[in-house]
Structure 1
């Protein structure tokens, strides 16, 4: 049986490297796959690979090249086959209007990126455990 995986839509190479380290050391039962821009994420959502094996959740930055994270979230929530996948905005921004827009577009959670590796190491496993283990997502779209 394949391990569950999380899709991270993130363009910051430093953040990706830190997240990879946390997944490797603290969340070994879950894989992570990275996509570095909004357009590539949407292209991936349309692939058979994605349809056959969707992620348990999507971690998405807002400030992405080519198409921002809120535009990608809007796309996801308007596509029947992917609309129930939990999307967690993980952003360095704490702007109230972005938080409001995240929830208005159907985002499941908004988390400000931890500022230190120690904080990331403490918070990311909790976020992933909740969305991959405790949260009960529908098995299909109704």
Structure 2
């Protein structure tokens, strides 16, 4: 990742989902850089790093079902850290459970999106989601 260039963070433990996301980004979003983190603990470690504090991402895409620390716990951590609480967090989860959606918004999540079911759906939706949060949202 190049310093000072805009980027996003994806916190996702599914190798398949990461690989599909990589393919979409490489083919459809050539100027987008994504830093991938595979569990809640490594996400927290990165969010505490000077790299993150001095050069925060444009947004964070986060799964709920993560090892070591789930996505809602990570979201709660982010929203309680003054210097980083303004980074938009988008929950991207296969779950459609109403209580998880409600909890996301109660904890300060910016958006809750159900994961696309296949590559074509991901190819259509992911660029729209990322461009909204990186280009249009102020």
- TM-score in same-fold range (> 0.5): yes
Query: What is the TM-score when the length of structure 1 is the normalising length?
Result: 0.94
Deviation by residue 1:10-48 (Cα, 9 ceiling, x = unmatched): 000000000001111111111001000001100111111
- Structure 2: which 5+ residue stretches go unaligned? none
| Partner residue in 1 for 2:25 | 23
Task: Decide which moves more: 13-22 or 1-10.
Answer: 1-10
Q: Which of 64, 67, 74 is 1:65 aligned to?
A: 67
Task: Find the aligned partners of 2:58 and 2:128 in 1 and give their Cα distance.
Answer: 14
Q: Which of 128, 133, 138 is 1:126 aligned to?
A: 128
How far residue 2 of structure 1 moved from its aligned partner, in angstroms, is 4.2
- Alignment size in residue pairs: 136
Map 1:1-142 onto structure 2 (within 5 A).
2-136=4-138
Query: What is the TM-score when the length of structure 2 is the normalising length?
Result: 0.96
Q: Is the 8 A contact 1:3 1:30 kept in 2?
A: no
Structure 1 stretches of at least 4 aligned residues deviating more than 2 Å after TM superposition: none
Q: Is the 8 A contact 1:37 1:65 kept in 2?
A: yes
Question: RMSD value over aligned CA atoms?
Answer: 0.9
- Structure 1: which 5+ residue stretches go unaligned? 137-142
